[in-house]
């Protein structure tokens, strides 16, 4: 596990970009695919740790895609074997949320299980890809995140809510650029 990962629950602290994050994602992806076999599963690296140069909470966000007509229960069992705790939909219908910590109370991974190629899948990837392809937008997002982290260092919900309008506008722009 990358030593730069880990944040206590509820704390908002941004870390500078870490070049080890993509390799940490690749390692975790392999672990999850092994744990879930033979279940059909696609896994993508999302969130700020997936955008080169972007400061981020030092927690890897993984997006898991499963068939839309499948039961999520076998994934709960598989991910539990890999050390993840299931948290239900956590306020987002259609998403099954899992967390993993380092054994010392620091959250290291978030896993969002959604329908592969469904609306939540496409939105996560569109946001990540737009930030990757538009450095000015990524820089604007970094400034917003830093301001929100300074304003809400112990209120992760307020931090997340403070990003919502930016995320929605970025998704609108990304769809517009793709002609949707």
Q: What are the pLDDT digits (tens) for 28-66?
A: 999 999 999 999 999 999 999 999 999 999 999 999 999
Q: Which distant-in-sequence residues (6+ apart) come within 8 Å of 12 by Cβ?
A: 57, 148, 149, 152, 153, 154, 155, 156, 159
Q: Using an 8 Å Cβ cutoff, are 41 and 75 in contact?
A: yes
Nearest to 12 by CA among 60, 56, 49: 56
Residue 91 zone, left/alpha/beta (φ > 0; ψ -120 to 50; rest):
left
Q: What are the pLDDT digits (tens) for 88-131?
A: 998 889 999 999 999 898 999 999 999 999 999 999 999 999 99
Which band of pLDDT confidence, cut at 50, 70 and 90, is reported for residue 68?
Answer: confident
Which band of pLDDT confidence, cut at 50, 70 and 90, is reported for residue 70?
Answer: confident
Which band of pLDDT confidence, cut at 50, 70 and 90, is reported for residue 12?
Answer: very high
Residue 73, token pair as written in the block: 């229960």
pLDDT at 1 over 60: no
Which band of pLDDT confidence, cut at 50, 70 and 90, is reported for residue 171?
Answer: very high
Pairwise pLDDT comparison (4 vs 35), residue with the higher score: 35
What is the percent of the chain with per-residue pLDDT over 70, rounded to a whole number? 98
What's the average model confidence in pLDDT over 6-33? 95
Q: Using an 8 Å Cβ cutoff, are 41 and 65 in contact?
A: yes
Delineate the domains of the chain, giving CATH numbers in brackets: 7-177 (3.30.460.10)
Predicted pLDDT of residue 9: 87
Strand partners, 109: 60, 100
Nearest to 145 by CA among 131, 166, 116, 125: 166
What's the average model confidence in pLDDT over 3-26? 92
pLDDT at 142 over 80: yes
| 3 state DSSP class of 177 | helix
pTM of the model: 0.92
């Amino acid at each position: 596990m990358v030593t730069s990962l880990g944040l206590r629950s509820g704390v908002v602290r941004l870390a500078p970009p870490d070049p080890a994050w993509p390799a940490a994602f690749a390692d975790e992806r392999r672990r999850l695919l092994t744990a879930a076999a033979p279940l059909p599963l696609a896994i993508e690296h999302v969130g700020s740790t997936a955008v080169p140069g972007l400061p981020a909470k030092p927690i890897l966000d993984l997006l898991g895609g499963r068939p839309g007509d499948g039961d999520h229960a076998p994934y709960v069992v598989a991910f539990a074997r890999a050390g993840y705790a299931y948290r239900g939909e956590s306020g987002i219908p259609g998403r099954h949320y899992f967390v993993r910590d380092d054994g010392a109370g620091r959250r290291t991974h978030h896993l969002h299980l959604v329908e592969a190629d469904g609306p939540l899948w496409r939105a996560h990837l569109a946001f990540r890809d737009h930030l990757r392809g538009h450095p000015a937008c990524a820089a604007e997002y970094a400034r917003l995140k830093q301001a929100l982290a300074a304003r809400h260092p112990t209120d992760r919900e307020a931090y997340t809510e403070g990003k919502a309008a930016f995320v929605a506008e970025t998704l609108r722009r990304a769809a517009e650029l793709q002609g949707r």
